[in-house]
């Protein structure tokens, strides 16, 4: 890999390094964590407030989240170029589509505050070469057997698209690699239902949308049926679980189809590995053996859960090989600690060829 052409990064939450000697108090630790991370609130809490207090609460959250996201982007922009990638938490503007908060977000003063703040943060990200993305929760569906679930899912997607547009990524096909990633959803209405749902979303949302393979309903081969319309985000860990232990190499013919789905934009993929505690005593240099693990009684659900850090050298070497064509979001509980450690491993490890 070369730092100028590939990037990896973390998802949503930042874990600060402890100061020398540790934090003096738990309050100081909480404050350090809060300063670098977005906050939220519940709609139940907002509903219990007076209109004035509700508006003040949302403005306070918006100001905090703009400042915290700015600190995250600035931190990522100061990292080596190979690490300038960040997934933004969906809690950026909590309750944006909910009846309790929707009208308040449309109020000119609050709207102007948010638009100006996100505009500055988008400029900061682009100036620093930071690739941004968002990933709504799995309830964000553009196809569902439930009309209300589909309506709510599309509204949630449009919120993410509007946030991306305010950041300056609302024009054209995945500008600067920006994207909003979702899952297909349940087996019904499935792939064709998803394709039909694309007609119900805005052009901005369509131009930012990506779809990833999952470990249960829609594996890579199923999701590739959408490659003519939507960029495919390859999740290597999901593929390992769904396929029963297959490790996808860069020369697999499906990689060319994934790359083509992005239509000239550099693809992005996801990586994670099973939990450390689940594989206690496992050789860290050897790729986990799915068949042996399931024979030992580990369920697919257990194997799908994410580790704290990227502890397995075999998986890390696989990521290094794939970085020739794709960027990676590291989906590990250790967040930035996991992504920076993986980047350091890749930068110092000798080239590793595919396993025989």
**List of the chain residues with pLDDT < 70:** 1-4, 351-356
So what's the pLDDT on residue 1?
Answer: 33
So what's the pLDDT on residue 353?
Answer: 56
Q: Tens digit of pLDDT for each residue in 50-80?
A: 999 999 999 999 999 999 999 999 999 999 9
Q: C-alpha 253: how far from its chain's center? A: 25
Burial class of residue 300 in the structure, from the number of CB atoms within 10 Å of its CB (0-12 exposed, 13-18 middle, 19+ buried): middle
Q: What is the tally of helices (H) and strands (E) in the chain?
A: 15, 8
CA–CA distance from 42 to each of 98, 101, 151, 187, 287 (Å)? 11, 10, 21, 30, 42
So what's the pLDDT on residue 269?
Answer: 98
Residue whose C-alpha is closest to residue 220's, from 205, 233, 201? 233
So what's the pLDDT on residue 351?
Answer: 64
Q: Is 185 left (phi over 0), alpha (psi -120 to 50) or beta?
A: left
3-state secondary structure of 131: strand
Give 228's Cβ-side CA count (13 Å radius): 5
So what's the pLDDT on residue 356?
Answer: 37
So what's the pLDDT on residue 161?
Answer: 98
CA–CA distance from 20 to each of 24, 72, 109, 137, 213 (Å)? 10, 21, 42, 37, 42
Place of tokens 């670098």: 36
So what's the pLDDT on residue 4?
Answer: 44
Q: Phi, psi (5° rounding) for residue 34?
A: -65, -35
- What is the rounded distance in angstroms from the CA atom of residue 268 to the CA atom of residue 247? 17
3-state secondary structure of 299: coil
- What is the rounded distance in angstroms from the CA atom of residue 128 to the CA atom of residue 143? 36
CB 157 within 8 A of CB 182: yes
Report CA dihedral (111, 34, 71, 160) to the nearest 10 degrees.
Answer: -40
- Is the C-alpha dihedral spanning 264, 10, 2, 273 positive or negative? negative
Query: Can you give 201-255 as a three-state secondary structure string?
Result: CCHHHHHHEEEECCCCCCCHHHHHHHCCCCCEEEEHHHHHHHCCCCCCCCCCHHH
The contacts of residue 216 (CB under 8 Å, 6+ apart) are 242
Percent of the chain scoring above 70 in pLDDT? 97
- What is the rounded distance in angstroms from the CA atom of residue 162 to the CA atom of residue 165? 5
């Amino acid at each position: 890999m070369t730092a100028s052409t590939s990037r990896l990064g973390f998802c949503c939450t930042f874990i600060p390094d402890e100061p020398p000697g540790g934090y003096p108090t738990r309050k100081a630790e909480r404050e350090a964590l809060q300063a670098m991370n977005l906050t939220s609130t519940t709609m139940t809490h907002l509903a219990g407030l007076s209109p004035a207090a509700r508006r003040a609460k949302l403005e306070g959250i918006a100001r905090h989240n703009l400042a915290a996201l700015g600190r995250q982007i600035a931190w990522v922009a100061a990292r080596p170029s190979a690490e300038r990638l960040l997934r933004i938490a969906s809690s950026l503007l909590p309750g944006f589509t909910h009846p309790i908060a929707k009208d308040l977000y449309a109020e000119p003063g609050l709207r102007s505050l948010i638009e100006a703040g996100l505009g500055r943060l988008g400029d900061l990200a682009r100036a620093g070469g930071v690739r941004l993305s968002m990933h709504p929760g799995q309830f964000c569906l553009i196809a569902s057997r439930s009309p209300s679930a589909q309506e709510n899912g599309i509204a949630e997607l449009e919120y993410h698209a509007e946030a991306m547009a305010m950041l300056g990524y609302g024009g054209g096909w995945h500008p600067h690699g920006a994207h909003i990633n979702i899952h297909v959803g349940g087996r019904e209405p499935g792939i064709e239902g998803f394709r039909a749902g694309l007609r119900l979303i805005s052009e901005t949302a369509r131009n930012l949308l990506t779809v990833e393979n999952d470990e249960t309903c829609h594996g890579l081969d199923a999701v590739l049926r959408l490659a003519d319309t939507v960029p495919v985000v390859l999740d290597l860990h999901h593929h390992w679980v769904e396929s029963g232990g297959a490790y996808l190499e860069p020369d697999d013919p499906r990689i060319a189809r994934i790359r083509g789905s992005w239509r000239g934009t550099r693809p992005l993929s996801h990586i994670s590995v099973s939990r450390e505690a689940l594989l206690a005593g496992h050789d860290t240099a050897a790729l986990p053996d799915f068949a042996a693990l399931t024979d030992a009684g580990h369920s697919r659900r257990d194997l799908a859960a994410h580790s704290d850090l990227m502890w397995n050298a075999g998986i890390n070497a696989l990521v290094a090989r794939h970085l020739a064509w794709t960027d990676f979001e590291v989906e590990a509980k250790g967040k930035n600690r996991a992504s920076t450690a993986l980047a350091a491993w890749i930068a110092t490890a000798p080239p590793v060829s595919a396993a025989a």
